[in-house]
Chains A and B, each alone.
Chain A
């Protein structure tokens, strides 16, 4: 069974450019999460969706960040315009929303904004 698939794995972009990160959750999972990881702040939850609906976006740092989930098998995290301080590893994760469930992470998208 394929795990959570993220793309691109690595991206280097110039400040001011738009960045789009993509995620395909595990088939059948109905919750999806976006995390960001930096040395300074560790793993931060940015936003999560249940059944394609955003439930909590309080972790989204600012208006430059937006996330969508148009269907159960695809989500995007967009940064526009990007800034050097957005450089981080962005992880997508998914889970089944049942008692005692766990979440499963993708391998991450390594973003560098220069």
Chain B
């Protein structure tokens, strides 16, 4: 599975959009991009995933560049409860089910 690169930490003002980048320059054509987050002391929580089209759900939006070498997770109106570590993962979904987590981005939402 392709490796991902994320900034180790970011801050965001409460109520503003949080834009979390992820580089996956070696991604293959059949690899999906997944985003999870982990709030302190809890299990990782699924946020969103996509293959090549932009995706939106009730939690966030996922923007994938046309060449698929990078993506951005957008939390449109960050709240204090969004403070967490955010993991970007790329994997082929139908060849084994391994999810390998990197170090992620620690997002702090500031009041």
Chain A contact residues, CB within 8 Å of chain B? 4, 31, 33, 35, 42-43, 45, 48, 50, 55-56, 91, 93, 95, 97-108
Does B29 count as interface, using CB distance less than 8 angstroms? no
Chain B contact residues, CB within 8 Å of chain A? 32, 34, 41-46, 49, 51, 87, 93-94, 96-104
Q: Which residues of A lie under 8 Å from residue B104 when comparing CB positions?
A: 42
Determine whether the beta carbon of B44 is less than 8 Å from that of A91: yes
Chain A facing B: main interface SS: strand
C-alpha spacing A21/B102, complex, angstroms: 24
Please pick, from A35, A56, A102, the residue contacting B46 in the complex, using a CB distance under 8 A. Answer: A102
Number of A-B contacts (CB under 8 A): 58
Determine whether the beta carbon of A106 is less than 8 Å from that of B94: no
Q: Which residues of A lie under 8 Å from residue B34 when comparing CB positions?
A: 102
What's the least CB distance linking B82 to chain A, in Å? 18
Determine whether the beta carbon of A106 is less than 8 Å from that of B46: no
Task: Please give me the residue from chain A that is nearest to B43 by CB atom.
Answer: A105
Determine whether the beta carbon of B96 is less than 8 Å from that of A104: no
Please pick, from B43, B49, B100, B103, the residue contacting A100 in the complex, using a CB distance under 8 A. Answer: B49
Determine whether the beta carbon of A93 is less than 8 Å from that of B43: yes
Q: Which residues of A lie under 8 Å from residue B94 when comparing CB positions?
A: 97-99
Determine whether the beta carbon of A31 is less than 8 Å from that of B93: no
Determine whether the beta carbon of A101 is less than 8 Å from that of B98: no
Determine whether the beta carbon of B97 is less than 8 Å from that of A97: yes
Determine whether the beta carbon of B96 is less than 8 Å from that of A106: no
C-alpha spacing A45/B100, complex, angstroms: 7
If A33-B98, A48-B97 are given as contacts, then 9 extra A-B residue pairs at C-beta distance below 8 Å, sorted by A number, are A31-B97, A42-B102, A43-B87, A56-B98, A97-B94, A99-B94, A100-B32, A102-B34, A106-B43
